[in-house]
Structure formats: C-alpha cells, structure tokens
Structure 1
Amino acid sequence: MSDTRIPTSTFVSESTVIEAPFAEVWHKIKLANFADFWSKLEKSDASHGANHEADVVKWKFIDGTELEVKQEAHSSIDHYITYSVISSKPALTYSSVVSTIRVYPVTTGKHEGHAYVVWTGNFSSDADASVIEDAKFKRREALADLAKSVGQ
C-alpha cells in the first residue's frame, strides 16, 4: 500500500494591512473576544474549569465545531499573542497547532498610522495539505472580518 499523502509545508502565514488605528486593532486581539469580530464564531468565552494559571478559551463555531484554545504567550509590548488548540470536538485530524497573531504599527508611507497584522500557524507534521489550505482560508476570512469590525 502506498502513501497518497501530498507532501506539504506545515506552516501557514496570512497578513494584511488594516486601515484603522493600530491601537484599535490591537485591542481586538483577545482570545475571549474573537466572536466579536470573526463571523465564523458563534461565541468565544473563558472555558469553565480553566485554572487561574492558564488562559483557556472555548471557541464555538457556527458549524458546531468547538475548540479549547490556550494562550501560551502574550506581549503588550511586542503586540502579539500565541495560542495552541488543546481540545477539539470533533477531534482534529492532526496532533497539534500553535498560532501567533502579531500586530505592527505602520510607521511610514501610504498606510502610516494603520495596523499590519500577521497570523501564523505551525502545525504538527501529520497535518495534510487540506488542513493547511483550510487554515489559510480561515485566517484570510478572519482578518477580513477583523478589518470590517474596525470600520474598514
């Protein structure tokens, strides 16, 4: 039996310039508030049973998928959050993913005063091409939704 998997990178990166003030965009990037801008989410809130040492948020998507995501790192100085998926219903088809959203102020040129946002994902090696493509398009949609939420 041959392996029919398509070799693929297990890294995805999507980015955009959002024509809104940097601070306004940065303050939207809180795991528990993603449903405030991401149209694919029905709700996002602190997970029950999460201890005070861990920031765990449950995301319930409109399609019924539920993810528990754990904030792994946060910097209000460097303007990024990193999170991992710690549980999923239905189960994921891969072992793990760690994602980072980073917001940069645009300091010169046509978009001066606006925000440049990068959303990356590092997947375990068992993620196939369809997982990476899905992640790419979900990030694009979410970034577009983020832009709409700040009036762009």
Structure 2
Amino acid sequence: MSNAIPTSTSVRESAVINAHPSAVWHLLKLQDFSSWWSKLSKSEWVKGTSDETDIVKWTFQDGTTIEVKQEEHSTIDHYITYSVISSQPALSYTSVVSTIRVYPVTSGEHEGQTFVTWTGNFSSDADAGVIEDAKFKRREALADLAKAAAKK
C-alpha cells in the first residue's frame, strides 16, 4: 500500500487587483515576470529558439532555473498559457501547464479593478507537496503583481 497522499493535480488561485485591467495585462509577458515577481532574479528569452517558439528562462532567487514555453496568448481574451519544458534542478513531476487570465470587474464595489486567476494543471505524478508549493507561489506572485500594477 502506498503512503502517498491522494491529491488533486490542479491548483487555482485568484485575486482582485486594485488597478485597471490594462495595467495588469501589460505586465504579463513571460520575459518580463522578473520585473514584478519577487521570487525571480531574472527572466530572459532563450537564445537560439525559432521565431515560432517563445521560450523564456526564469531564474529564481534560490538559483533554480526553469524554461517556460508560451503555448497560448490572447490579447482579445486576456490570458497567457505556458508550460515548463525544463528545470534545473529537475522537477519531481513530469509536466505542468499554467494559465493566467485577466478579467475586468465591470460592476459592484470593485468596478474598474481587475480579477486575475492563475491555474496550474500538473501531471498525475505531482504530489501534495508540489500542489501546496504551487498554491503558495501563485498567491505570493499575485500579491507582487498587485503591487506592480498599482504603480502603473
């Protein structure tokens, strides 16, 4: 019998950001994440990739590096989807696809602000620790995004 804790392999975090949706959306370019996400020390295009493939290397403050590939980007629906294609050190799971989506709040007390969701769908070999880590990283990143958007 396995000692693994059964867990969902997806995570969804969200926030209402006190900024206009355009201020938030313009920060969501994979190569610019280090300008607002405090966990990253650097985000840069991977050299030598084709014009058809958008791959960005994120270097975290702890020295971990991951390469993320932009899978989808919609300036009409305001979302970006990316997958992790490599990591140093290696990940403990096979894959993850994440989407950040920006929605305008059009009525109510938060009218004129922005609702943001950040999801992650992990391969079935991701354990509870991976999912919890992803949850907290997204929460911290959304708080950082809110700070950066407020400055715009």
Alignment TM class, shorter chain as reference: over 0.9
What residue number does 1:35 align with?
A: 34
- Quote the Cα distance in structure 2 between the aligned partners of 1:49 and 1:138: 29
The list of structure 1 runs, each at least 4 consecutive aligned residues, that deviate by more than 3 angstroms after superposition, is none
> What root-mean-square deviation, in Å, do the aligned CA atoms of Structure 1 and Structure 2 show?
0.8
Partner of residue 61, structure 2 = 62
Give me the TM-score of the superposition, normalised by structure 2. 0.97
**Cα distance per residue 1:2-60 (max 9 Å; x no partner):** 31110000010000000011110111011000001000000001011211110000000
The one-letter code sitting in structure 1 at the alignment partner of 2:7 is: T
Residue 90 (structure 1) shift? 0.2
Aligned equivalents of 1:111, 1:151: Cα separation in 2? 14
Aligned partner of residue 25 in structure 1, secondary structure: helix
Q: Name the amino acid aligned to 2:90.
A: A
**Residue 131 of structure 2 corresponds to residue 122 of structure 1:** no
Does residue 20 of structure 2 align to residue 21 of structure 1? yes
Task: Find the aligned partners of 1:3 and 1:141 in 2 and give their Cα distance.
Answer: 32
Q: What residue number does 1:11 align with?
A: 10
Q: Which amino acid aligns with 1:135?
A: A
Task: Confirm whether residue 104 of structure 1 aligns to residue 80 of structure 2.
Answer: no
Give the secondary-structure state (helix, strand or coil) at the position aligned to 2:147.
helix
1:38 counterpart letter in structure 2:
W
Give SS of 2:150's match. coil
Structure 2: distance between partners of 1:86 and 1:49: 15
Q: Which residue matches 1:50?
A: 49
> Following the alignment from structure 2 to structure 1, what is the Cα–Cα distance between the partners of residues 99 and 107?
24
Any idea what the Cα deviations from partners look like across 1:125-145, whole Å, max 9, x if unmatched? 000000000000000000000
- 1:46 partner amino acid: W
Q: Deviations over 1:86-128 (max 9, x none)?
A: 0000000000000000000000011111110000000000000
**Partner AA of 1:137 in structure 2:** F
Unaligned runs of 5+ in 2: none
Question: In structure 1, how many angstroms separate the alpha carbons of the residues matched to 2:129 and 2:29?
Answer: 27
| Identical-pair percentage | 68
In structure 2, the residue matched to 1:142 is 141
The total of aligned residue pairs comes to 151
TM-score normalized by the length of structure 1 = 0.97
Per the TM alignment, residue 151 of structure 1 is displaced from its structure 2 partner at its CA by 2.3
CA distance in 1, matches of 2:15, 2:117: 7
